[in-house]
Amino acid sequence: MGHGVTMRTVAERAEVSTKTVSHVINGTGSYSPETEQRVRAAIDELGYRINPFARGLRSRRTDTIALVLPNLCQPFYAELAEQIMRAPQTQGLKVVLHSTHGTPGGSRRSCPRTRNWWTASSVTRPTVVLGERPADATALSLDYVESADEQGARAVVGHLLSRGRRRIAAIGGQTGPRAGARRLRGYRAALAEAGVDYDDSKVPSDVALAGFDDIEAARFASPPLTTVDLRRESIARTAVTLLRSRMGMEDFRNLPGRSESIGYDLRPRASSGAPPSGPG
């Protein structure tokens, strides 16, 4: 039904101005949650779609964002990409996916215009970094969305301790600044708080199991897997909101780098001997 539907058509259906429709689509300006709901309902009902290339010819902007991920095979990254493409804040943008295949520096090589983006003089496009904060992000005008790896690890280890477990192993820990290292720090901090010694030897035959990321398969495993949900949907919405705010500026470098912390949710399930904490 979207053929011939214009922004004015959407505005008339939602009983708002075309400017308000533009603000809702682009994540700019101010409007009430009720207004946004009416506009988005009208967009869905009418099948309104923005042609980013036609708009780019008029404005010299393609409104295209690149999502660079280590790979698209692991469920976490695939589900994150899906959330970013489905986020209301992405409406009107074209999303280009690129996989670095996990190679060091691949994220830089994948973006020719930002090949050396870690130096202030070469940051040529608004950029949001997910998960790992560059030390000089503020000076580089890079926005950062932090995942609660360390806090989530402390929570899930605390959950296992509350179930009477005292020999708790961490599988997949890494050194350095990456997510695995942050989770390992949270794991060891939780043990220290509980007065439980860290022991890296021997896996017992009867184990309770907990994981990270709350991918869809975790709910359907047998038994269902206790896990930490890093709120991919919130990460996606926040990242695109930060990016769009810079895209709308005359010079995005005028705004220092910002940081947003998303938080986490613990999902106790049968793999750790706990009943589900709620739906899902």
Q: What is the pLDDT of residue 15?
A: 93
Query: Per-residue confidence at 202, pLDDT binned at 50, 70, 90?
Result: confident
Query: Per-residue confidence at 280, pLDDT binned at 50, 70, 90?
Result: very low
Q: What is the pLDDT of residue 159?
A: 94
Distances (CA, A) of 154 to 66, 131, 159, 210: 33, 17, 9, 12
Query: Per-residue confidence at 113, pLDDT binned at 50, 70, 90?
Result: very low
Q: What is the pLDDT of residue 117?
A: 38
The architecture of the domain spanning 149-231+266-272 is 3-Layer(aba) Sandwich (3.40)
Digit-coded pLDDT (tens) for 81-99: 999 998 888 888 888 888 8
Structure tokens at 147: 């995942």
Structure tokens at 63: 């409104």
Tell which CATH classification among 3.40.50.2300, 3.50.50.60, 3.40.630.30, 3.40.470.10 matches the domain 56-147+235-262.
Answer: 3.40.50.2300
CA distance 182 to 265: 17
- The dotted CATH code for 7-49 is 1.10.260.40
pTM above 0.85, yes or no: no
When computed from its CA atoms, the radius of gyration of the chain, rounded to whole angstroms, is 22
Digit-coded pLDDT (tens) for 157-187: 999 999 998 888 888 755 555 777 888 889 9
CA distance 80 to 30: 27
* Helices (H), ranges, the chain: 7-14, 18-26, 33-46, 52-59, 75-86, 106-109, 149-162, 179-193, 216-220, 232-247
Q: Residue 104 pLDDT > 60, yes or no?
A: no
Own/partner long-range contacts of 68-74 (Cβ < 8 Å, ≥24 apart): 68/98, 68/99, 68/100, 68/107, 68/110, 68/111, 69/97, 69/98, 69/99, 69/100, 70/99, 70/100, 70/101, 70/102, 70/106, 71/99, 71/100, 71/101, 71/102, 72/97, 72/99
User: 92 φ, ψ to 5°?
Assistant: 90, -5
Digit-coded pLDDT (tens) for 17-33: 988 988 887 777 788 88
CA distance 231 to 236: 9
Mean pLDDT, the chain, integer: 80
> Which percentage of the chain shows pLDDT scores above 70?
78
The structure tokens 């049968």 sit at 270
List the domain boundaries for the chain. 7-49, 56-147+235-262, 149-231+266-272
Helix pair angle (7-14, 18-26), 10° resolution: 100
Q: Which of 63-67, 98-102, 171-175 has the highest mean pLDDT?
A: 63-67
Nearest residue to 90 via CA among 216, 230, 229, 233: 233
Q: Residue 230 pLDDT > 60, yes or no?
A: yes
Domains 7-49 and 149-231+266-272 agree in fold: no
CA distance 174 to 93: 36
Amino acid at site 228: V
Average pLDDT over residues 197-222: 83
